[in-house]
Amino acid sequence: MSSISMPLLTFIQPSMLTEEQIYLEEWTNSSRLLFYSVLSIAFFTLPVLLTSFCWIRCKKRQNVHFLPYLCAILGANMVLLGTLMASVITENTDYVYDLIPGYLVCKLTAFLVNSSSCFIHWAWVAMYAERFCYIFFPLRFRNHSSCRTRCILLTILVMSMCIQLWTPIFITGRRLDSQFDNIYCGEDPQYESFTHTQLIMVLEVFATFFLPLILTIFADISVLTWKSAWGLSIHLVSQDEIRSKTSDNGVGSRKHSHMKIVSSNSMRNSQKQRSNAIRRCLISATITLFLNLPNYSLQLLDEFFNLRESSSIDVRRIFLRIDAFVYILYLMQFPITPIHIYILTRTKKRKES
């Protein structure tokens, strides 16, 4: 993740700039762009996220089974975006660094950002899993258990924090150039020769992002391709079918005695509602995860090929530009999240059976 500090190099004339100084100037411009991007998105989105959170809390009788997940996702998004906003503000003011050393700010910021990101990704997966069970097995999971949901969310939170325990150890404040005050959060140099560092980071990125992404994509494919096969396990039958079997020595009556009787139109409407609901859930989760994909992929490539500190100026400049682009794309998940919440929680009136 790029540092977002804003040193000024205007005292250097363009004709006097070396390649390193030109790179520093581009780094400064990129940092300035990210600085204003984070602030503008945060000031616009945080009130919207808070309003969405309050709105979700008021919808107590609608879609109860996944409202706790949406509240948790909104809360984690507020923590994540608030941490990013606080980090860019502290990096451009001396007041905080006079009270707290820079390396501690980096460690705390990285831990909060990574933990909240991990929590958000797995909360989407958990919400889909419970939503799937509620839709495809309505009789078995018709009773909502708030205690069970809280336990699931608490487990995800503890798991997310445990996965990110390496962050305070390996992350610290670093300088881009010794001649200028260009500080960014990166890997501690004393651990660069540690043979297991890359393995730890790869496992962390996989558990934080790629595994929930794979599960979400798998869910998308399974619903779209195996929907009819899964639909058979729900055992939806029409009232006419049950009536026709009740005269068969009572066998049909005993077989369907535990099932709910519905009309043919109600059965078709129910199947359509299930399909639409599961598609909305999966599409929203997939969009959120794919907004993170370029940023996580680039950071993973940087970990293996050391693009940020490459000996080639051209490689560093290309990486700098791509990094700024994917980070802005990453920030887009925050204003889009309330839209996802609205789509997932909107309800339509049922058609008459």
Q: What integer pLDDT is reported at residue 64 of this predicted model? A: 65
Task: Flag whether 9 is in a domain.
Answer: no
Task: Flag whether 322 is in a domain.
Answer: yes
Q: What integer pLDDT is reported at residue 11 of this predicted model? A: 41
Q: What integer pLDDT is reported at residue 239 of this predicted model? A: 56
> Are 290 and 121 within 8 A, CB to CB?
no
Task: Flag whether 5 is in a domain.
Answer: no
The two three-digit tokens of residue 205, written as one number: 């990125």
Q: What integer pLDDT is reported at residue 247 of this predicted model? A: 56
CATH number, domain containing residue 155: 1.20.1070.10
Task: Flag whether 6 is in a domain.
Answer: no
Parent domain of 117 = 16-345
pLDDT in single tens digits along all 353 residues of the chain: 444 444 444 444 444 468 888 888 888 899 899 999 999 999 999 999 999 999 888 876 555 677 889 999 999 999 999 999 998 888 777 666 667 777 788 889 999 999 999 999 999 899 888 877 776 676 777 676 788 889 999 999 999 999 999 888 888 877 665 545 556 677 777 776 666 778 888 898 999 999 998 887 777 677 666 655 554 444 555 556 656 655 555 555 555 555 555 566 776 777 777 677 777 777 777 787 789 999 999 988 988 888 888 888 889 999 999 999 999 999 999 999 999 888 877 755 444 43
Distance CA 330, CA 324 (A): 10
Task: Flag whether 350 is in a domain.
Answer: no
Q: What integer pLDDT is reported at residue 12 of this predicted model? A: 45
Q: What integer pLDDT is reported at residue 161 of this predicted model? A: 95
Question: What contacts 24+ positions apart, CB below 8 Å, involve 314-323?
Answer: 316/23, 317/23, 317/26, 320/2, 320/23, 320/26, 320/27, 320/30, 321/26, 321/30, 322/298, 323/1, 323/2, 323/30, 323/298
Task: Flag whether 284 is in a domain.
Answer: yes
Total structural domains in the chain?
1
Distance CA 108, CA 168 (A): 7
> Are 183 and 175 within 8 A, CB to CB?
yes
